[in-house]
Amino acid sequence: MQISTFFAVLGWVLSTVAIPASPTVEAALPTSTANVAGLHALAKAAGKLYFGTATDNPELTDQPYVAILNNTQMFGQITAANSMKWDATEPEQGVFTFTQGDQIAALATNDGRLLRGHNCVWHEQLPSWVTSGTFTAAEVTSIIETHCSTLVGHYKGKVYSWDVVNEPFNDDGTFGQDVFFNALGEDYIAIALRAAKAADPNAKVYINDFNIEGTGVKATAMKNLITSLKSQGVPIDGVGLQCHFIVGEVPTTLEENMREFAALGVEVAITELDVRMTLPETAALLEQQKADYQTVISACQAVPQCVGITVWDFTDKFSWVPGAFAGQGGACPWDENLVRKPAFDGIVAGF
């Protein structure tokens, strides 16, 4: 056999034989080909305030990761994935710890980047003193006010926007039953927003949720809440669309929905973008994921009130997805080896 024929046959065999998952196959998957200075630079050039990422304290010992994170052309905004949450910041009543949150804040502010605060009031990641205490409505009010004003006050002047209330709704558009709602009904939302705004009047106060990215009952519930808050004079500056999507399932009404939010007089941000898939990754899945990322960026691009986009960490190495959904992953624009995926090019194309 001629040597060229041999290689042609070998190439055919390699391209047709299903090889079990291994580093060899991963290396054969398509990667990014875009040659750009950075995603934040593109976002700015496109008129947006930022392209950013979530990050977490344990990740900051990973030097190759940090090198990408600290590229201010790539990421112009940072969110703490965990270290500004209630369990991290007020583990005992009245005892506040900001060391971990400050480390994330410094990453942003030392480099002149924007910081999103995440979050003041949420039914998850609460310390047990909040969830297992027996409190009157007046006490819960005071607990919310103390937490929000101390947390937001600590970061006063450093935060572009706060997710003051996180995930208040069930998927059917009813309010989640948590320690706050059970004591105060939906009034807890206004209490938190007012306390946060008073603590840092220059920070935008947001409500952030998932499954409100497309039109539907949950998005309608959020719109009704925003309308109601505005009619009562409660501060509300923005709505965060988390955008934890599944490959091939980006809502077709994303742009229309963002316009409807904007029409209420609030800004919109994409706060926690990732696009997960059932593993293993394949070339076809990565191509669809690229298209999905592009769809999301394009929708934000089309709506002037969409101020920016945050990915919920940029690498599969540190994604929350595999820990939350068995057998799923691959959700981020960089792979586990910090190699840019086609999804990166989807983001570039979206701008």
Active site residues: 272
CA–CA gap between residue 317 and residue 167 (Å, rounded): 25
Number of residues that bind ligand 9MR (CB under 6 A): 9
Buried b (16+ CB within 10 A) or exposed e, 88-120: bbbeeeeeeebebbbebbebbbeeebbbbbbbb
Question: Is 161:237 a contact under the CB 8 Å cutoff?
Answer: yes
Residue 309 bridge partners (DSSP): 51, 270
Whether 203 contacts 162, CB under 8 Å: yes
Cβ-proximal residue to ligand 9MR, closest one: 320
Of 81, 140, 285, 311, the one binding ligand 9MR by CB under 6 A: 81
Where does the chain show beta strands of DSSP type E? 50-55, 77-80, 114-121, 161-166, 204-209, 238-241, 244-246, 267-278, 306-311, 328-329
Of residues 213 and 345, the one with the C-beta less far from ligand 9MR: 213
Separate counts of helices (H) and strands (E) for the chain: 15, 10
Q: What SS3 state is found at 34?
A: coil
Query: Judged by CB, which is closer to ligand 9MR: 188, or 210?
Result: 210
Site for ligand 9MR in 266-295 (CB under 6 A): 272
Given the complex with ligand 9MR, which of 89 and 166 has the nearer CB atom? 166
Please report where in the chains the tokens 């952030």 appear, as a residue.
208
Output the smallest distance, CB 170 to ligand 9MR, in A: 15
In this complex, which beta carbon is closest to ligand 9MR, that of residue 126 or of residue 183?
Answer: 126
Minimum CB distance to ligand 9MR, residue 78 (Å): 14
Residue 28 vs 324, nearer CB to ligand 9MR: 324
Among 320, 334, 344, 351, binds ligand 9MR (CB under 6 A): 320
By C-alpha distance, which of 133, 126, 142, 138 is closest to 176?
Answer: 126
Locus of tokens 């960490």:
313
Cβ at position 240, least distance to ligand 9MR in Å: 9
We find the least distance from the C-beta atom of residue 125 to ligand 9MR, in angstroms, to be 6
Under rule CB under 6 A, residue 264 binds ligand 9MR: no
What is the Cα–Cα distance from 20 to 18, expressed in whole angstroms?
A: 7
Least distance to ligand 9MR, CB of residue 320, Å: 4
Does the protein bind ligand 9MR through residue 82 (CB under 6 A)?
Answer: yes
105, 107, 108, 110: CA torsion to nearest 10? 100
Q: Give yes or no for residue 111 binding ligand 9MR (CB under 6 A).
A: no
Establish if 211 lies at the interface with ligand 9MR (CB under 6 A). Answer: no
Interatomic CA distance for residues 76 and 39, integer angstroms: 9
Near ligand 9MR by CB under 6 A: residue from 6, 58, 95, 124: 124
User: Within a 10 A sphere around the Cβ of 209, how many other Cβ atoms?
Assistant: 24
Interface characters, 16-55, with ligand 9MR (x: CB under 6 A): ----------------------------------------
Contacting residues for 19 by C-beta, under 8 A, at least 6 apart:
25
Q: Which residue, 76 or 240, has its beta carbon nearer to ligand 9MR? A: 240
Q: List binders of ligand 9MR among 227-246 (CB under 6 A).
A: 242
CB of 298 to ligand 9MR, least distance (A): 23
What are the residues binding ligand 9MR (CB under 6 A)?
81-82, 124-125, 166, 242, 272, 320, 324
